[in-house]
Each structure stands twice: as C-alpha cells, then as structure tokens.
Amino acid sequence: MLSNEQNRLLTRVEGDAPMGLMLRRNFWVPAVRSARLQAGGAPVRVRLFGMNYIAFRTDDGRVGFFDERCPHRGVSLTLARNEDNALRCIFHGWKFGVDGAVLETPTQPVNSREFAQAVKLNHYPAREAAGMLWVWLGREGEPPAFPELEFMGLPQSHFNVRLQVVPFNWIQGIEATIDSSHVGILHADWVNGLGELNLMAENTAPTYDMKMTDYGFKAAALRPLNDGRSYIRVTQFVFPWYSFIPPSGMTTGDRLTIISVPVDDTHSLQIYYRYNISRPIKHDDWLALKNPDHFSPLPGGYDDAWGQDRASMKDGSFSGFKDLALEDFVVQISIGAIADRSQEHLCLGDQIIVRTRRLFLQTLERHQAGEDNALSSARQTGLRDVRSVSTIVPEGIDWLDPSVAASAR
C-alpha cells in the first residue's frame, strides 16, 4: 500500500503537481483523432492535465493547438471562425494564426500592429501520426524526441484507433492494462474456449517476473502447464503511458497498445490502438458500429450498476457485461475517481502493480532532484521493436530467452 502523500504524488497532474509538470515537459501527448479536425472546420475542445485547449485544421491542412480562451476577454475559441488559415474570435474579431501569432485586433484603434505583437496566446507544438494529433505541452525549451513505436508509420488500413474518456485517474488506467492476473477472471467470458487464452481462466494465479529497461519494463505472467511447458504472456510498458498488450491469439497477428492519458485528476483518456504490422486488420462488425471517439460509452452509473445484466450472469456470463473494455472501465470507476491506495491489501498477484507504482515515484524523485534519467527525460527513440508476447514454450525455456521475443515477430 502507499501512503496518502505517495498516492497524491503518483496521481495528481493538475497545475503545479510534480507528476503533471514532469509529464508535460518531457513527453508528447496524444490529444485528439486527426479525423476530427476538418480543414476549415470547427475547432475541437481538448482537455488535458486539467487545462482546456482547442485544436483546429486550417484551410491548407495545417494544424494548430492553443489555449482555449481568447486572450482578449476569455471567450472560448471553440466558437471561433476558421477562415483564411486562421481563427477569428466571434466576440470582437481578434484573429490568430496557426502559429499562435495575433494577426488582427479590430477593436484596437491605434498602434494595432504593435499592440497585437504584445498579446500572448499560448500555442503548442503539434504533429500528426498514427491517426492522432500529438502535442507537447511544455512551455520552455525544445520538444523531446517524438515517440518511435511500432504502430507509427503504418498504412491507415493496418490500424484503427479508438478513444474513450472515463471518470477515473490515469494511473488506474495504466494499472488495469498491465495487470495480467485479472484477465482470466474479469474477462472470463472472452477468454474461455479461445485456444491458449483459455489457459488464463484455468490458471488465475500466474507467477510474475519483471525486467526493467531504459524505456520502462517487460512484465511476464508465467503459467506452468501440466505437460511441463509454460504459457507466457509478456506485457511491455513504455513510460509513461503505453501498455503493449499480449496479442489475443497466436495466429491473428493483430496487436493492441493501450494508452492512458490524464484529462485531469479524476478523468483519463483511454486510447486503444489495434494494429497489424504485416497486413490490413479485419474490422469487426461491432467495431464498425462504434463511435471512435466514444467507443465504449458508460451505460448508467452506480444506481443501476452501469447496466450490469444479472439475468445473463445466471445464464452463464461471469461479469454481466457484453463489452470487454467496459468491464475494465466499470471496475476502475467503482474503485473511485482516485483510488485510495492506503487501504489496499495487496497479494502476490499484484507484484507488477507494486513495482510500477515504485517506478513512477522513483522516476519523479530523480527528476525533481535534477538527475539524468532515461525515463524522466523521455527515452522515446529506437522503440519500434518493442512488442508484447503471447506464446507457449517448451520446458526449461526462460521467458527472457531470445526465442520467446522472436515469437512476437
């Protein structure tokens, strides 16, 4: 368990919270799907780290990312006109270029050019990759290296990206994705009968091992089989929010990366990348019907247990939910917007959770002390070979053996 002070340092990201400052200064943040930004179209409001921003695309295709409020009188620039490759506030007509420069101040009668140059509108470096607009929210110095991950640069046909804002802290999102022990229980309806995935339901208490890396860690859930072989699932975590989830089957080739980004202290943006590095992915019918910006909306709340179907539970469903992601979301919401980690009773199945929390707190401590640390200084390059693994290996093969990693290719 953590002390209340440790929990505060781990979870809080708004304002001058140390964790939020470190993340904003050192990492690119996935902010909004590129497809939402139409050339010459309406600006899109984006909330990150407790602050509100707007993103937009100019007529010529460039993207801009600003503070939401017009620096004149504070009107939301979500209302602005998108014209002439710039935004114009509808209140008094002040106009802002895609680079944040104040171009016109129609209500300033004299020295308007000098006046405009003195006005500050915070704008942020932004670039597009893998179907998302990514931003750097640091306000001093140069942006860090852009993340080089295996789903970056794939053709559009080889990936899809789905988003959902959920009412729980971002660390809870990370803890849900790196925790392998819950898969065979909470997601039993999905893994039962699916080949090797069924082994997670048969053995719900894997042993764990973990190897730290200069980008995060590899976490192995090891399940011995009756014939002497082992079922191995290796999750890779790239600091600070990328979880590479072991594939859903050894034959599909499709992979999953889940990203948990802070919206504010009590909300997070969950981003699901499904992709295939060698061929176009098959878009499931259920996925095609989903809103990609709200792919797993929450039905109801505490009063009706988020739509949990008790009748289906009597008929054989374990959780009473028909959406795998919703199962994860609901249990995290039920914990509370910010989990009270001082009241937990952790067990051996929580080793990865404990070490991940320690990793974040130690990285933050070193960052605050000014120590050179690969994680806190955004080690994001050379990561295209970071992949998760789901495989069955012969007796005596260690999960760190190169042959295990090779099975992910």
The DSSP string of 27-66 is --EEEEEGGG--BT---EEEEETTEEEEEEE-TTS-EEEE
pLDDT in tens, 134-192: 999 998 888 999 999 999 989 999 999 999 999 999 999 999 999 888 887 888 888 77
In angstroms, the first-to-last Cα distance of the chain is 37
Q: Which residues of the chain have pLDDT under 50?
A: 250
Q: How far apart are CA 30 and CA 147, in angstroms?
A: 11
Domains and CATH numbers, the chain: 28-135 (2.102.10.10), 156-406 (3.90.380)
The tokens 């953590």 sit on which residue?
2
Helix (H, G, I), strand (E, B) or coil at 211: strand
Q: What is the pLDDT of residue 18?
A: 96
> Contact at 8 Å (CB) between 296 and 166?
no
Q: How far apart are CA 149 and CA 280, in angstroms?
A: 18
> Contact at 8 Å (CB) between 20 and 13?
yes
> Contact at 8 Å (CB) between 268 and 261?
yes
Q: Where are the beta strands (DSSP E) in 106-171?
A: 126-129, 132-135, 159-166
Q: What is the pLDDT of residue 253?
A: 75
pTM over 0.95: no
Q: How far apart are CA 38 and CA 61, in angstroms?
A: 8
Q: How far apart are CA 33 and CA 389, in angstroms?
A: 28
Helix (H, G, I), strand (E, B) or coil at 320: coil
Q: What is the pLDDT of residue 250?
A: 47
